[in-house]
């Protein structure tokens, strides 16, 4: 490993052990724990089965909302959204009176773990499936001295050494750029991780995938099992090369449809329009991103801005009385409970139940591209995720105290136990 003189590195007020072998966190997007149970039961994941038996097998809680951007950035910073500021894929910016994606690094309020290690002299590598996360994950890294690499599968054919730390990652890996809505987009991440481990030898590496498969297929489905069987093959290579590995997820995934396969939705904007007048309130769905084909921008978490003079407590009381609303509260209460940044959250927060989603207005959601019954996430019922380490750590706790954003803290701790050679 590279020369880092301190015994630990403090990042965002958390101390990280200096690894003696590569510390890897793998975020399996949308990995409801049942996916792993089903694939293991079919004999398709011998490596992960062994890790569970001889390493450490726990469950952890994700950040809320249980969406991609907030949880990837929690894993990348080791802290909840109240600290790093990324509380959704999408938000309303009152200063500009506009709804914007939270992909721009300007929204990130804290250092990443990668930046902290880089500043201490380490080599860091980050591979993400979708490019929407790449700039956030790579914020403030310098790519001109051969110690940092950060790229996405989605745009791997256009990487440059100046911006990503590597020229044309697609050519380097010998794989074409995958279709964005495919399992291959995630497989590219795993294949790149194996090659980076062997050739680049980073001190810290993050591999994060896409939940295309998980939105389409339930645990135990043939296509889902095939995905996890594929992952297990790459996991075996990473494990065999001596890395200390934590496997976790950004969120789980639940069926959000009725017995006929039709989406189950509470159109919250329509509800508030009926109570307060058309467009008097503004509903924001933080699940919204450029890749809505597989979920139709329907998730289990919403926030709403209310017009001046409206009693938020009254609206919350009325929402709590609705079927399939399992949580509704004011900004202050919700931000305290879920560790969210209050300046980026509406006046109220609403969370739907295990088999229900929240929409804006019915006419604003194009569900024509949903070829399978809707599966989605965002709420409390998708908060439980796997947390598996390929090292025995018997003192490690479990959910709810254990969080997915403890991944690098634990991976570095495990890697610091190792003896080089």
Tell me how crowded residue 173 is: count the other CB atoms within 10 A of its CB.
Answer: 18
- Classified as helix, coil or strand, 346 is coil
Each of the 421 residues of the chain gets a pLDDT tens digit; together they read 566 667 799 999 999 999 999 999 999 999 999 999 999 999 999 999 999 999 999 999 999 999 999 999 999 999 999 999 999 988 888 888 888 888 999 999 999 999 999 999 999 999 999 999 999 999 999 999 999 999 999 999 999 999 999 999 999 999 999 999 999 999 999 999 999 999 999 999 999 999 999 999 999 999 999 999 999 999 999 999 999 999 999 999 999 999 998 899 999 999 999 999 999 999 999 988 655 544 468 999 999 999 999 999 999 999 999 999 999 999 999 999 999 999 999 999 999 999 999 999 988 776 666 678 899 999 999 999 999 999 999 999 999 999 999 999 999 999 998 554 3
Q: Are residues 114 and 168 in the same domain?
A: yes
Distance CA 159, CA 166 (A): 6
Q: Are residues 80 and 163 in the same domain?
A: yes
Q: Are residues 56 and 119 in the same domain?
A: yes
Supply the CATH number for residue 39's domain: 3.40.720.10
Q: pTM score, two decimals?
A: 0.96
Q: Are residues 114 and 239 in the same domain?
A: yes
Domain with 155, as residue range(s), is 8-253+378-416
Instruction: Give domain status of residue 334, yes or no.
Output: yes
Give me 408's structure tokens: 């690098």
Instruction: Give domain status of residue 57, yes or no.
Output: yes
Q: Are residues 390 and 300 in the same domain?
A: no
Give me 184's structure tokens: 């291959």
Q: Are residues 297 and 180 in the same domain?
A: no
∠ CA(70), CA(74), CA(78), 5° rounding? 170
The pLDDT value recorded for residue 290 is 57
Q: Are residues 118 and 79 in the same domain?
A: yes
The pLDDT value recorded for residue 294 is 47
Longest alpha-carbon distance in the chain: 69
Instruction: Give domain status of residue 167, yes or no.
Output: yes
DSSP summary character for residue 299: B
Supply the CATH number for residue 340's domain: 3.30.1360.110
Distance CA 266, CA 328 (A): 14
Q: Are residues 46 and 163 in the same domain?
A: yes
- Phi then psi for residue 92, to 5 deg, are -95, 130
C-alpha of 268 from chain center = 25
Instruction: Give domain status of residue 421, yes or no.
Output: no
Q: Are residues 188 and 311 in the same domain?
A: no
The pLDDT value recorded for residue 94 is 84
Instruction: Give domain status of residue 362, yes or no.
Output: yes
Q: Are residues 140 and 95 in the same domain?
A: yes
Q: Which are the contacts of 68, defined by CB distance < 8 A and separation ≥ 6? A: 29, 89, 133, 211, 250, 251, 289
Q: Are residues 313 and 167 in the same domain?
A: no
Instruction: Give domain status of residue 26, yes or no.
Output: yes
43 exposed, middle or buried (CB, 10 Å; 0-12, 13-18, 19+)? exposed
Q: Are residues 220 and 300 in the same domain?
A: no
Instruction: Give domain status of residue 97, yes or no.
Output: yes
**DSSP, residue by residue, 371-407:** -S--EE--SGGG-EEEEEESS--TT---TTTSBGGGH
Region of residue 140 (left: phi > 0; alpha: psi -120 to 50; beta: else): left
Instruction: Give domain status of residue 320, yes or no.
Output: yes
The tens digit of pLDDT for each residue in 82-96 reads: 999 999 988 888 888
Count how many domains the chain has.
2
Contact 245, 410 (CB under 8 A): no
């Amino acid at each position: 490993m590279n020369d880092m003189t301190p015994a630990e590195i403090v990042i965002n007020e958390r101390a990280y052990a200096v690894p003696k072998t590569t510390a890897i966190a793998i975020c399996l997007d949308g990995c409801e724990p049942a996916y792993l149970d089903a694939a293991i039961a079919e004999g398709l994941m011998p490596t992960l089965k062994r890790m569970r038996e001889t390493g450490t097998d726990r469950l952890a809680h994700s950040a809320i909302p249980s969406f991609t951007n907030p949880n990837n950035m929690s894993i990348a910073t080791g802290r909840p959204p109240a600290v790093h500021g990324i509380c959704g894929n999408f938000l309303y910016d009152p200063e500009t009176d506009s709804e914007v994606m939270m992909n721009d690094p300007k929204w990130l309020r804290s250092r990443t773990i990668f930046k902290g290690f880089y500043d201490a002299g380490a080599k860091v590598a980050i591979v993400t499936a979708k490019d929407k996360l790449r700039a956030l994950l790579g914020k403030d890294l310098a790519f001109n001295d051969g110690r940092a690499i950060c790229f996405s599968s989605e745009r791997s054919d256009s990487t440059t050494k100046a911006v990503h730390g590597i020229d044309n990652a697609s050519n380097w890996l010998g794989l074409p750029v995958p279709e964005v809505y495919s399992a291959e987009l995630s497989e590219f991440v795993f294949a790149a991780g194996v090659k980076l481990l062997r050739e680049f030898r980073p001190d810290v590496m993050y591999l994060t995938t896409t939940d295309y498969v998980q939105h389409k297929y339930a645990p135990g489905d043939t296509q889902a099992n095939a995905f996890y069987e594929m992952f297990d093959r790459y996991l075996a290579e990473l494990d065999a090369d001596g890395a200390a590995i934590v496997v976790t997820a950004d969120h789980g995934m639940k069926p959000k449809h009725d017995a006929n396969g039709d989406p189950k939705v509470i159109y919250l904007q329509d509800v508030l329009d009926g109570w307060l007048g058309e467009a008097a309130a503004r509903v924001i769905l933080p699940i919204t991103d450029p890749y809505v084909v597989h979920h139709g921008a329907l998730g289990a978490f919403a926030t709403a801005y209310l017009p001046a003079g409206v009693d938020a407590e009254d609206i919350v009381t009325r929402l709590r009385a609705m079927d399939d609303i399992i949580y509704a509260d004011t900004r202050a209460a919700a931000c305290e409970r879920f560790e969210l940044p209050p300046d980026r959250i509406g006046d109220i927060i609403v969370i739907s139940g295990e088999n229900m989603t929240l929409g804006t207005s019915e006419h604003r959601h194009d569900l024509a591209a949903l070829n399978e019954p809707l599966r989605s996430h965002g709420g409390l019922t998708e908060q439980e995720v796997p947390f598996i380490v390929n090292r025995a750590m018997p003192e490690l706790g479990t959910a709810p105290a254990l969080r997915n954003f403890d991944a690098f803290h634990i991976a570095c701790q495990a890697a610091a136990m190792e003896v080089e050679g």
